[in-house]
Amino acid sequence: MTPVTKQEKGQSLVEFALLLPIFLLILVGIAEFGRGWMTKNILTGAAREGARVAAVQLDPAASSSQGTLAARGVLNSAGISVPPAVVSVIDPGLTIPSIQVNVAYTYTVFVLNFIPGLPGPNLNLAGTATMRRERY
């Protein structure tokens, strides 16, 4: 083992000071990616639940409103309020036996607020589900 000279005493501190911000950025980026992925899965689950409820309605007129209510219920249970999130039910009528539910949400990435030069902190996420309508 070689002895540490006076010139090498601050080397570890300088390396730590240079690498700590990069390490923290990667760590927070991983957490943000996980949070965004979870939000995307919630939107897809809400769209799937809305399409399922709308597809099994016996009354075609009630399928759109019931599908919207079901999707809003999933979003509310996950802590995503409905005015920022947009739920739309596309019902082509009885000519095409399917129903589609779209859920759109503007996701705010917190880590992008602290890094200058990166694009805006908002990402548009969406979940879509299409299900075959049950026979009436």
- Asked if the model's pLDDT at residue 62 lies above 60, the reply is yes
Q: What is the pLDDT of residue 94?
A: 66
State the DSSP H helix or E strand holding residue 61, giving kind and residue range, or none if neither: helix 60-77
| For range 25-36, the mean pLDDT | 90
Q: Mean pLDDT, to the nearest integer, of 107-135?
A: 81
Contact 87, 101 (CB under 8 A): yes
Do residues 86 and 105 lie in contact, with contact meaning Cβ atoms separated by under 8 Å?
A: yes
pLDDT digits (tens, 9 = 90+) for 68-108: 999 999 999 999 988 889 999 988 776 778 899 999 999 98
Would you report the helix, strand and coil content of the chain in percent, each value rounded to 5?
A: 50, 20, 30
The string of pLDDT tens digits covering residues 108-120 is 887 766 666 666 6
CA 129 to chain centre: 15
Beta bridge partners of 106: 124
Do 127 and 44 touch, CB atoms closer than 8 A? Answer: yes
Q: Does the pTM exceed 0.85? A: no
